[in-house]
Structure 1
């Protein structure tokens, strides 16, 4: 949790909000004291909730749970999209995660806040209550993207009934499997880890995608976002990797202010990293060398070297794809499933 909005409605609640913000030095906190801040007195709570639901990682309401429910209800977007929403009573006795307990991290945040305040965390999700494996919490911890969050319910329900849940993985699996999860036993539902979003190893399949793919991109000055997007999509198709698996985009430092690249990364919510020509030249491997590129930017290849550098020395799974003044390559980090 990196960005948290704390809203209170009484003087006592405001004091608790101030204390809580001080106890979370690693989190960017914004406090909204609706009782004491004159600038908020003529504003609507619904407008605050609408904005907070899209631009923060979590909201803490210090007050009645009913106020929080009514405030956020019109703006719920979905299990994988909603931020964490919690309620703390103004006395600081109870911390209740209301929304996005697993994927949004509300349950973990509730446990942390309760420990800081000396309060009781009131966690109501069934898997947590029974100590069962929560696949969405595990996926979040491991950096896996959830392609079809509506299928989480099949996994959780089966485990709570004591049934076996299957696991199919395109990557090596390490560690002891959670209770109820099997790599070999028959199962009606299960989760598949890999890049193939059409795979159906189980009747009800939850697809989890490791974000281990790295896009290296080079382009002519002034190339627009649409062309960059098209070539990157072509490279990803050739690599057999979905956009959901991409961890970041990488290029040479001369492209740090390239508008088309920046717009592409912003639209896809991807971090953009640039390297110097010397850093790219130092990457080991066999690459598609170009004398023109070497003369222009100082390294004989941008997209392939940048992709491998971004992947921490990982393997190229798609070499240079070039079209319309854009080059793209795809590398993948070495990764395995761990429990």
Structure 2
């Protein structure tokens, strides 16, 4: 099993501290320099002994692990990792801990890589002082490039993130509009700065003075909205849509996908906002459905005939009942899965596929 975190130590004190952390922090594999490891032996998945240089070791660790913890000086760490840096979206989190365990320093990929979050966790475990220097964390606000990450929100593009983030940390007026998705997106302990204005709708957002904007929505923006918003706009897609799907036995994934794409385009909704698909339990082995969900990483929620029949339908179908034991599939399945009482799209039949769409309702 490949661990998520690699801890590297090259001194006796550092090795002792790294082994202590390895016992406290789940999914951590400790790399100990052979010269100062004494009688320690390797334990696969927990402890490794290396005799070569750290410079030779690090490239492999950068490829294999989500986070790398270095138990030596910050200056040495910076010199060693500099040639390995490629992209903030793919570089692992890098954390430096002095061999006395006094300071835990977030060095690289503080936001996207999770180094800041891991730094706080480690500091608590070791009773050390966390050192985090990213502006949004220091100011106690939110990071534009991490918005809704714990909920699975995805950005249409990361291109505007740098300029939007700069506007937030520099106190420039930023307009914020949320049309869908979870409402408790502000990180625990963070405050919303006064220069960020929450807008009720797109009309208000386009009218308020702003140097940048953030829009959280599952709908496709209209061309005129995109033009009016400008380049300094981050658009986030919450996972707020559920697809109810039914199909004839043996329907290929390509046909299902074509119907989904066509339907979302007709409704003006983003594919990135699909949270999951839902259908009857009898369809749980349908190869086309499984392939479609696998391609996009959607969970396939399955419901028994009794569950499906618990949802009142305007047009119950005797034909569907004979085939599945339920008077409907896509409509009741999507309503049950989304927790919504309203359909964005009632059942639509296209070839071998039936589809319905609902939006998850969030409160708070």
**Per the shorter chain, which TM-score range?**
0.7 to 0.9
Is 1:206–2:219 an aligned residue pair?
Answer: no
Tell me the alpha carbon deviations over residues 184-233 of structure 1, each in whole angstroms, 9 at most, x when there is no partner.
53112111121244343532211122211111222233333222221222
Is 1:178–2:193 an aligned residue pair?
Answer: yes
Q: Is the 8 A contact 1:239 1:330 kept in 2?
A: no
Residues 314 and 18 (structure 1 numbering): CA distance in 2 closer, same or farther, change over 3 Å?
farther
Is 1:264–2:292 an aligned residue pair?
Answer: yes
Is 1:195–2:218 an aligned residue pair?
Answer: yes
- 2:354 matched to which residue of 1? 327
Segment of structure 1 superposing worse, 326-335 or 250-259: 250-259
Q: Is the 8 A contact 1:251 1:273 kept in 2?
A: yes
Residues 100 and 218 (structure 1 numbering): CA distance in 2 closer, same or farther, change over 3 Å?
farther
**What displacement does 1:317 show?**
0.8
Q: SS of the counterpart of 1:19?
A: helix
- 2:323 matched to which residue of 1? 296
**TM score, norm. by length of structure 1:** 0.80
Distance 2:143 2:284 in 1: 40
Distance 1:256 1:12 in 2: 55
Distance 1:21 1:209 in 2: 36
Tell me the alpha carbon deviations over residues 56-85 of structure 1, each in whole angstroms, 9 at most, x when there is no partner.
xx31323353487358524x3x53x66644
- 1:59 matched to which residue of 2? 67
Is 1:92–2:106 an aligned residue pair?
Answer: no
Q: Is the 8 A contact 2:9 2:31 kept in 1?
A: yes
- 2:38 matched to which residue of 1? none
Distance 1:222 1:34 in 2: 54
**What displacement does 1:311 show?**
0.5
**What displacement does 1:169 show?**
3.5
**What displacement does 1:294 show?**
1.2
User: If you compute each CA radius of gyration, which structure gives the higher value, 1 or 2?
Assistant: 2
Is 1:139–2:137 an aligned residue pair?
Answer: no
Q: SS of the counterpart of 1:150?
A: coil
Distance 1:286 1:82 in 2: 50
Residues 82 and 8 (structure 1 numbering): CA distance in 2 closer, same or farther, change over 3 Å?
closer
Tell me the alpha carbon deviations over residues 73-132 of structure 1, each in whole angstroms, 9 at most, x when there is no partner.
24x3x53x6664434445433323344423443322221221121122221212222334
**What displacement does 1:164 show?**
0.8
Matches within 5 A, 1:1-339: 4-10=4-10, 15-24=16-25, 29-33=27-31, 35=33, 37=42, 45-52=58-65, 58-64=66-72, 65-66=77-78, 69=81, 73-74=85-86, 76=87, 79=89, 84-141=93-150, 143-170=152-179, 178-182=193-197, 183=199, 185-198=208-221, 199-200=225-226, 201-203=228-230, 204-282=232-310, 284-286=311-313, 288-335=315-362
Segment of structure 1 superposing worse, 298-307 or 93-102: 93-102
Residues 262 and 31 (structure 1 numbering): CA distance in 2 closer, same or farther, change over 3 Å?
farther
Distance 2:79 2:350 in 1: 54
Which stretches in structure 2 are left out of the alignment for 5+ residues?
34-40
Distance 1:302 1:71 in 2: 55
Tell me the alpha carbon deviations over residues 259-304 of structure 1, each in whole angstroms, 9 at most, x when there is no partner.
322222222122222121211221x343553322211221122112
**Root-mean-square deviation (Å):** 3.3
Q: Is the 8 A contact 1:8 1:62 kept in 2?
A: yes
Which stretches in structure 1 are left out of the alignment for 5+ residues?
53-57
Q: SS of the counterpart of 2:229?
A: coil
Residues 256 and 18 (structure 1 numbering): CA distance in 2 closer, same or farther, change over 3 Å?
farther
Distance 1:68 1:288 in 2: 67
**TM score, norm. by length of structure 2:** 0.75
Distance 1:20 1:311 in 2: 41
